[in-house]
């Protein structure tokens, strides 16, 4: 049994990868549980995270390198041996600050601590020493499959899907963007501080930053790997972590009706809910939100209290959107439904998604999305706005859901997203839909803005 003393960040990374590949659970839940178990400090936690997420973003290439180095097929390798080698190869070929010898020694030591047979200690050592000896030659060979085709580090079924939808060139760009380590994007709380003042605080703290590309409230930290709570202004509620795509999505509920009431129908951790509260203060709005999961509800409450302590504008309901009675006379001026989805637009930020998803998952999500948009629309006032959003790239979850809804509901009309967005973000609108593809600047996302034209 490993103790807190013997368990290292590198060994924990291998353990997390073993569990992830075995159970297909979200990597974050596995990571948080494993790291908490050994009470890692910030440095070790960050290293473990960098290795785990790095291996996931480069999984196909790393496995190809192992195949080139080993006569034993991947499927026959001991799972911990497989992932220890993968973690070490990532350190050797993708990280600069870790000596090759340290990566090798840690992998071998991990096998000893796990009490694996001695022959496997020598096997791991031999594979990694040979990888270092081959160096760039191995990197070049590992970037291509057995036919000489360039690897994408994405499952074949997903690449095939995207090629049919976007073409080969655009698909390769999406995959390349997904394989980069993303920066951290913040939304500045304009009720607390201006972006200029916040950036001055970052500069004083020697934190490298750049303004967001699309949103006036966005700031990007390209190389920040510390705890978010260590960023200046966190405790004061000066910012919320939120990608620019999600920031832009909330704007689509505008122009806001003074004194109106707006609903976040799938609140999650409260990123969009807190953004709506900024608009609520400016326009004298009331905000309602619903969230069924207790853990998320707790985090939502913590985020809202940090950003807007003592606020009285938000009503939170524990439960799903279906708890709200569509037959009741009360109606909302605007509703945001950020629906549960396959998440294929954010597989750069959450690289486990690409390996955990299966083709059949997409239609399962579609069924729930159709139920949510139908129920949400029934809660909307005549003239009100419904924004349907996902972080998926798949047409079944996006355009097909909206097309079916509009076909069955003649009192709703699709409106153009572009006029509601900053001028520099309008090129992300296609056929009236807000639909950015994954890039180094923004997550993949989809939004449709729908107006209710008359009483049903």
Catalytic site positions = 391
User: Is residue 239 within 8 Å of residue 275, measured between CB atoms?
Assistant: no
Whole-number Å distance between alpha carbons of 52 and 31: 9
Whole-number Å distance between alpha carbons of 178 and 166: 15
With b for 16 or more beta-carbon neighbours within 10 A and e for fewer, the 277-310 pattern comes to: bbbbeeeebbbbbbbeeeeebeebeebbebbbee
Displacement of CA 31 from its chain's centroid (Å): 15
Helix (H) or strand (E) holding 290: strand 286-291
Instruction: Output the CA torsion sign for 162, 167, 170, 176.
Output: positive
Other beta carbons within 10 Å of 42: 11
- Pair type for strands 412-415 and 429-430: unpaired
CA dihedral of 308, 309, 310, 311, whole degrees rounded to 10: 0
CA dihedral of 224, 227, 233, 236, whole degrees rounded to 10: 160
SS3 438: coil
Whole-number Å distance between alpha carbons of 188 and 275: 10
């Amino acid at each position: 049994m490993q103790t807190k003393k013997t368990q290292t960040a590198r060994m924990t990374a291998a353990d997390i990868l073993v569990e992830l590949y075995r159970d297909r659970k979200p990597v974050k839940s596995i990571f948080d549980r494993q790291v908490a178990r050994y009470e890692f400090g910030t440095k070790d936690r960050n290293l473990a995270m960098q290795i785990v997420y790095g291996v996931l973003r480069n999984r196909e290439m790393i496995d190809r390198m192992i195949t080139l180095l080993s006569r034993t097929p991947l499927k026959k390798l001991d799972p911990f041996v497989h992932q220890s080698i993968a973690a070490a190869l990532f350190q050797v070929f993708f990280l600069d600050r870790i000596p090759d010898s340290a990566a090798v020694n840690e992998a071998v030591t991990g096998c000893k601590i796990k009490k694996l047979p001695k022959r496997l200690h020598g096997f791991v050592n031999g594979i990694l020493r040979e990888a270092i000896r081959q160096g760039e030659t191995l990197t070049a060979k590992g970037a291509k499959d057995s036919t000489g085709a360039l690897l994408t580090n994405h499952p074949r079924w997903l690449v095939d899907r995207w090629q049919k939808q976007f073409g080969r060139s655009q698909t390769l760009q999406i995959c390349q963007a997904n394989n980069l380590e993303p920066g951290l994007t913040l939304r500045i709380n304009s009720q607390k501080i201006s972006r200029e003042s916040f950036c001055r605080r970052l500069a004083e703290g020697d934190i490298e930053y750049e303004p967001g590309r699309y949103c006036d409230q966005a700031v990007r930290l390209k190389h920040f790997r510390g705890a978010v709570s260590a960023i200046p202004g966190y405790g004061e509620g000066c910012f919320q972590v939120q990608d620019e795509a999600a920031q832009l999505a909330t704007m689509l509920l505008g122009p806001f009706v003074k004194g109106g009431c707006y609903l976040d129908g799938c609140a999650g951790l409260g990123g969009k809910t807190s953004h709506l509260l900024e608009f609520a203060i400016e326009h004298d709005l009331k905000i309602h939100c619903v969230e069924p999961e207790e853990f998320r509800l707790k985090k939502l409450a913590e985020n809202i209290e940090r950003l807007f302590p003592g606020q009285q504008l938000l009503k939170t309901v524990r439960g799903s959107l279906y708890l709200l009675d569509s037959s009741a006379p009360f109606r909302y001026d605007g509703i945001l439904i950020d629906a549960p989805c396959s998440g294929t637009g954010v597989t750069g930020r959450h690289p486990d998604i690409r390996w955990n998803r299966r083709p059949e998952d997409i239609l399962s999500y579609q069924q729930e999305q159709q139920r949510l948009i139908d129920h949400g629309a029934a809660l909307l006032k005549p003239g009100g706005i419904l924004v349907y959003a996902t972080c998926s790239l798949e047409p079944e979850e996006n355009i097909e859901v909206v097309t079916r809804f509009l076909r069955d509901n003649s009192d709703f009309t699709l409106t153009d997203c572009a006029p509601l967005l900053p001028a520099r973000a309008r090129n992300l609108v296609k056929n009236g839909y807000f639909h950015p593809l994954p890039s180094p600047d923004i997550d993949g996302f989809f939004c449709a803005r729908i107006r209710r034209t008359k009483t049903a």
